[in-house]
Each structure stands twice: as structure tokens, then as C-alpha cells.
Structure 1
């Protein structure tokens, strides 16, 4: 790769205060993992949680200083106060997080792995997925996650995808919440406090700002992942499509992958995100009405810019342990409209809400999330 294409290493050195551009960046070790991300082609054992668990609410922090970062642009007219992502009075409402699958299933799988002959094939598949997720990019990839209704698992899928990219990649990863009224992305990511929002940053960002300036307005989640919230949790918060466009165009050059938690379709910002992103993930509940509505939306999307439907991944989210539909037939029906289709299985840990701990996810959930992330990333690379 030429020096001009190695922009990921340059921005990470900028962020970490490293050496000159010609000096190789030292790979970071994600918290709690004990090793650098897998090399392309190297086996990634199926027993490892993928992606790495986000930090707990006590670890996630807003990296912006008290009066906003210093930069050569115009200082904002106001500096918002930090607010907790979850009202402290609700702290007692949450219970201890559950494992995504019962102990009996985990024990049975451990026995199966000792006698099964398919483990080698499984390791080879995961290695191939890891190689896809670690492919270098010359320009930032933006992946929009949306749905046609609330409660379809949109923010959950966005959190899983972004965490997967942050686990496998070494370049910066950004979560953007573009659903200020109903989004729950900060909660799912374990953010403790929120200050600057997408609308705030739209009026601040300047072309001459460095990555250090930009990250001062973001919530840092881990070494290479940041969050830009849509609001501070207030009801009635709005985000217009011009502010969204300004933020996304300005931030694209700083981050290898940006995952956007959009409003539901057909809201204006969601429509803009569909046409401006390199790939789209459309979530829908695995119910008869959810599948029927999604099929209708896919027909509508076929009339948009041609790349939209070919760059779309549909995710059927199982909201109950026993689905009442024929998922195989549902997948065939939705695929006939042109998109790629995946199923995110029911998971007790996800169903409980709150911050996602990937070490507690069911193995089938981790596998599905990794496959979905790889598929969306592969589609995003087809559009430059």
C-alpha cells in the first residue's frame, strides 16, 4: 500500500501523539483482550467473543474538556453541560445482566466441539470473515442502519456492527446517532454521560480541524471507537438533513468505518442516509407484519438510486425465543427483492436491554453479528 493510502496509520499516530508519518504505528491492544486484532488470514477461535465487549457504564466517558477542545475554527456559541445517559433514579431498575443463552446449551456445545469434525471448517470460515473485516480502505466507509418502525432492534444492530468493526480493525471507528428522538444507541454502548450532539457538531466542524480536535467533541468508548450522540435524551430533539450531511461529509476523512443509527423510514434523514452511505442495513422484526412491511419498503427502494438496493442488508431480528413464522421462507421472499438477508437470533442478554456486553452474548448471536458486519462492509467497498 502506498503512503498516500495509509491514512489510517497517520490519523492514529495523530491521535496518539506518535512519530512522523513514515514511522509504523504500534498496534493497540483492546482493553481486556490481551492481544492485537487478528491478522488477515490468521485463525480467530470461535470461542473468543467477537466483538470485544464495550466498557461498562463506569468506564465509558466523554472525552470532551469542560469548555470544548481548542482548535483553529470558530468556538461554538454555547457549551452544553454533560448529562447522564440514563437518569440516576432508574439505576435500581436494572438487574444483573444475563448470559445470552442458558448454561445447558453452553455445556452441550462444549461437548459437541470436542467430538465434532466441523470445527476446522468453522475456524476457516471465521478466518475468512476476519480477513474481510480487516481490509484496508482509502476513504471512510459509512454504513447506515435503519428500520421501518421502532422496536425492530435498529440501535442494537448498530451497536453490534460498530463494536465488531472496532474489534477487528485498527483504524478509528465512529458511531453516529441520527435518531435523536427515539434512539437508544448511547445506552446500548454503555455511555455514561453525553454532551455534544450531532446537531451541535454540525455548527462547529471546520475543514482545518485535526482528529484530536474532532474527538474532543465525542464520547470515547475504547481505544479506536467513539460515539457522537443525537441528543442528551430530551424529548422532541430534532436533526435536519442539512446538519446530518454536514457532519457526515466533514467526519468521513477521519474514520475508517462510521456506523449511523438512523431515524426510521421514510423520515428525511433516513432517506438522505440511504443514498449517501456506502451500505445500508435495514432491520425488521421477524414477524409476519414486519416481513410484509419490509418487503413493501424494498420494492420502494428499488425505485431509488440503483446502488441502494444492491448495497442493502436486511436483518430479521428474533424478538422471542420461539418464532411464529417460517424464517427460511421469509428469507427467500425478501432476497427475491435483491438485498442480502440475515437473521439475528433471539438472545436473552439483548432482550434485557441496557449496555451490551459481548462476552455475555450467545455464541449464535456473536456469529450472526460478525457475518452481518462482514457482509455490510463487503457491500460498502463495492461503492467508492
Structure 2
């Protein structure tokens, strides 16, 4: 009979003790392997590898122009606007050539300006629309820019600028001169001006016999004060070129507008104005001037092309302002009542003035 072999007590618990604790029957688990070093990077799974790209400082930005897809601009006038609105924007023919040209002029008018820019509007001859040009230029710049603009009537002979803009000439430049030392703030200045839309208006003395003539030193003092509060200062000067205020106007001007007409006398007087400027040391102003031909008076017998060619060879630009029934009344000017061609002519004039901002802003170059 075979002899029964008893288990070694020292190993019995390791072999059978798990049955008492409810563990499944089976061989004991294999001992854990010691930690192995991490796999090299090249042996890792592709999903475990870093996919971050190195920083590139010159990547394109996410500005509106870069992110939005190109789309046709919304038309704002004519049949194109009507079609766009009737179809709820589903049909967009885009702006026409005239509207695109107008937007380009507005972009130029809104050029940034540091400091003050002084514009002189003058003519050796009266009755050619000088005050009308100063009025419409001031309104055009003021209504289409975000800064401050003022138009000053420097006519020593009871100018009509305020009548064409606000009808209020009770307070004039003479009162401002009398109180000049007390004017320290924008609120102080505004007491001496009237408002036409966004344009501030400083009237001239309405009774020449009531006070002394407007002198050069007085104009320069007023202009220096206005330069502290306004970005654009437009001066409607008198018709004479030799009076004292005109000397101050020309000495301070950054830009010059010479007004004439497409007539024999209107064109010849504008040309003589340029001759006078050159003869009296203002050749730079004459070369950079803008000649405005006011077409309220015109004749089929006059060769308009020859007049334009003459001035185009002498000055920076020539602008023709067509006849406009609203301006012809001589009453108060409202830009909204101008014919589109007239409004576009003054937009062109305003853009030509603004073209000089980047090279003349706030600078006295004499």
C-alpha cells in the first residue's frame, strides 16, 4: 500500500490558502516584470507622437478683410439700389461707375490730417462765385469728415458768407478780435460762430463804416486762435489782392483756390490773379493752386477746352462747377438740393484739397 505524502507545512498556505479566501483555483500569477525603459520616440504609435507645428511669426492675421469672402458692395443709388432692395439683397448688381468714383473721392476727402490746414479762396474779380465756392467747399469737407472745420469771412466789405450758410451775422470776427485774450476753450470760441450742419461759420463785419478795416495782423491772430480748435480753416477773402487782410491770408495759406469763369473776363481775371501771385513771391501757392471755373455764366462762343488747357498748364488742377439752379438763387446753400453733377464737382474739389494734407498738415512753409 502506497504511503501518503503530507504537504510541507512551510508551503501549504501558499499553495492552498487562496481557497479559503474565495480566490479562483489556479496556479499563482506570474511575478511582475521589472519596469522597462520607455520605447524610443521612433517606435511609439503615430497617434502618440506630437503634431504641434513650430511657431511661425509671419502667419496672416485674422482681420475682417482676410476672413470674409469677397462680396459685391451694396449699391446706394439709382436702379441698382432699387433692384437690390426689391430682391432683399439676393440680386446685387454692385455700385455703378459713378458711385464707385464718388466713393473714391470720399475716401480721399477723409484722409487723416495732423494739425490745421488753411485754405484760401480768392479771386481778383467779383461776381464769379467765390463765396459760393467757399461755402460749398466748407460744407462738403465738414459733412464728410469727422474733425472740425470752420469758414471765415475775411472780406473787409461786408461779406455775404454767413448769409449763404446760416443767415446769422449778429456776432462777427470783430467781436472775436475784441475778446481774443479771453477766449481759452472750445466753448468760448463757439460763442462767436454760427453752425451750418457740421460747419462752423465766422461772419465778417457787416457795417464797414462801423469799425476799422480788417488788417493783416488781426487776421493772423484770429487764424492762430482758430488753429488751436479747428483742423480745417477756409477763408473767403475779398476781391482785392492788395488789402492788408489778403496779405495775411496768403501768408498763412496751405492751399489756394482761385475762382474764375469760362468767359472772357472771368478767365482772364483768374489768369491775372496767378500772375500777381507769382510777381509778389507766392509762386509756390500759384503752382499748387486749384482753379475753379464757375459755369453760372457761359457762352457757346467761348472755347471752354482752350480755357481749361490754359489753366491746366499753370496749376495743380482745374475743377468745373456746372450751373445749378439752387446756387443761382444766391440764397442759403443746402447740399442736399444740389444737382448730382454739382455735388460731385465739390467732392472733387474737396478731394484735391485733402490730397495735400499728408505733405502740408500743420506746416508753415515760409
TM-score (norm 2): 0.68
Distance 1:133 1:235, change over 3 A: farther
What residue is the counterpart of 1:263 in the other structure? Answer: 238
- Aligned-partner Cα distance in 2 for 1:293–1:352: 24
Distance 1:44 1:279, change over 3 A: farther
- Displacement, 1:225? 2.0
What residue is the counterpart of 2:203 in the other structure? Answer: 229
Distance 1:45 1:270, change over 3 A: farther
Q: Greater shift after overlay, 193-202 or 358-367?
A: 193-202
The question of whether the paired residues in 2 share the 8 Å contact of 1:311 and 1:379 is answered with: no
What residue is the counterpart of 1:126 in the other structure? Answer: 102
- Displacement, 1:174? 0.6
- Displacement, 1:317? 0.8
Q: State how many pairs are aligned.
A: 272
Q: Of the candidates 249, 264, 269, which is equivalent to residue 224 of structure 2? A: 249
What residue is the counterpart of 1:199 in the other structure? Answer: 174
Q: Of the candidates 165, 178, 188, which is equivalent to residue 213 of structure 1? A: 188
What residue is the counterpart of 1:137 in the other structure? Answer: 113
Q: Greater shift after overlay, 230-239 or 313-322?
A: 230-239
- When the two chains are superposed, the root-mean-square deviation of aligned CA atoms in Å is 2.5
- Aligned-partner Cα distance in 1 for 2:76–2:299: 29
| Gap runs ≥5 in structure 1 | 1-41, 48-116
Distance 1:226 1:291, change over 3 A: same
Distance 1:172 1:46, change over 3 A: farther
What SS is found at the alignment partner of 1:341? strand
What residue is the counterpart of 1:158 in the other structure? Answer: 134
Distance 1:381 1:328, change over 3 A: farther
The question of whether the paired residues in 2 share the 8 Å contact of 1:176 and 1:230 is answered with: yes
Distance 1:323 1:350, change over 3 A: farther
What residue is the counterpart of 1:318 in the other structure? Answer: 295
Distance 1:261 1:372, change over 3 A: same
The question of whether the paired residues in 2 share the 8 Å contact of 1:177 and 1:228 is answered with: yes
Structure ranking higher on relative contact order (CA contacts 8 Å, 6+ apart): 1
- Aligned-partner Cα distance in 1 for 2:142–2:104: 17
User: What per-residue deviation string (whole Å, max 9, x for no partner) do you get for residues 186-227 of structure 1?
Assistant: 111132x323221221232238711111112211223x3211
List structure 1 segments (4+ residues) > 6 angstroms apart after TM superposition. Answer: none
| Gap runs ≥5 in structure 2 | 1-72, 79-92
- Displacement, 1:338? 2.8
The question of whether the paired residues in 2 share the 8 Å contact of 1:43 and 1:124 is answered with: no
The structure with the largest helix share of the pair is 2
Distance 1:371 1:235, change over 3 A: farther
- Aligned-partner Cα distance in 2 for 1:151–1:253: 33
User: What per-residue deviation string (whole Å, max 9, x for no partner) do you get for residues 54-90 of structure 1?
Assistant: xxxxxxxxxxxxxxxxxxxxxxxxxxxxxxxxxxxxx
Q: Greater shift after overlay, 145-154 or 301-310?
A: 301-310
The question of whether the paired residues in 2 share the 8 Å contact of 1:176 and 1:261 is answered with: yes
Counterparts of residues 253-292 of structure 1 (less than 5 Å): 253-266=228-241, 267-292=243-268
Q: Greater shift after overlay, 159-168 or 320-329?
A: 320-329
- Displacement, 1:290? 1.7
TM-score (norm 1): 0.65
- Displacement, 1:167? 0.9
- Aligned-partner Cα distance in 2 for 1:233–1:129: 39
Q: Which entry has the higher C-alpha Rg, 1 or 2? A: 2
- Displacement, 1:141? 1.1
- Aligned-partner Cα distance in 2 for 1:141–1:166: 13
- Aligned-partner Cα distance in 2 for 1:174–1:164: 12
- Aligned-partner Cα distance in 1 for 2:353–2:267: 20
The question of whether the paired residues in 2 share the 8 Å contact of 1:141 and 1:381 is answered with: no
